[in-house]
Amino acid sequence: MKRKDLLKLLTHLILIIAVIISIFPVLWVLSTSFKPAAEVFSPQIHYIPEHFTWENYHYIFTFKNGIFFTWLKNSAIVALMTTLVGVFLAATAAYAFSRFEFIGKGAGMFMFLVAQMFPGSLLIVPLYNLLKSYGLLNSFLGLVIAYSTVALPFSVMMLKSFFDTIPVELEEAAKVDGLSPFGTFWRIVMPLSLPGLAVTAFYNFITAWNEFMYALTFMSKEELYTLPVGLRTFVNEFNTDWHLMAAGAIIITIPALLFFLGAQKYLVSGLTAGGTKG
Residues 222, 258, 157, 180, CA torsion sign: negative
Alpha-carbon Rg for the chain in angstroms: 23
pLDDT of residue 274 exceeding 50: no
How far apart, in whole angstroms, are the C-alpha atoms of residue 31 and residue 92? 44
From its phi and psi, is residue 138 left (phi > 0), alpha (psi between -120 and 50) or beta?
left
111-133 as b/e, with b when 16 or more CB fall inside 10 Å?
ebeebeeeebeebbeebbeebee
How far apart, in whole angstroms, are the C-alpha atoms of residue 190 and residue 206? 22
Q: Name the residue type at position 14.
A: I
Range picked from 106-120, 184-198, 221-235 for highest mean pLDDT: 221-235
Residue 63 pLDDT:
86
- Per the document, the length of the chain is 278
Q: Parse the chain into domains and list their residue ranges.
A: 64-277
Read off the pLDDT of each residue in 214-221 and give the average, rounded to a whole number.
92
Topology of the domain covering 64-277: MetI-like fold (1.10.3720)
Residue 276 pLDDT:
41
Q: pTM for the whole thing?
A: 0.83
- Range in 16-20, 94-98, 150-154, 161-165 with the lowest mean pLDDT: 161-165
pLDDT digits (tens, 9 = 90+) for 7-61: 888 999 999 999 999 999 989 999 999 999 888 888 888 788 888 899 999 999 9
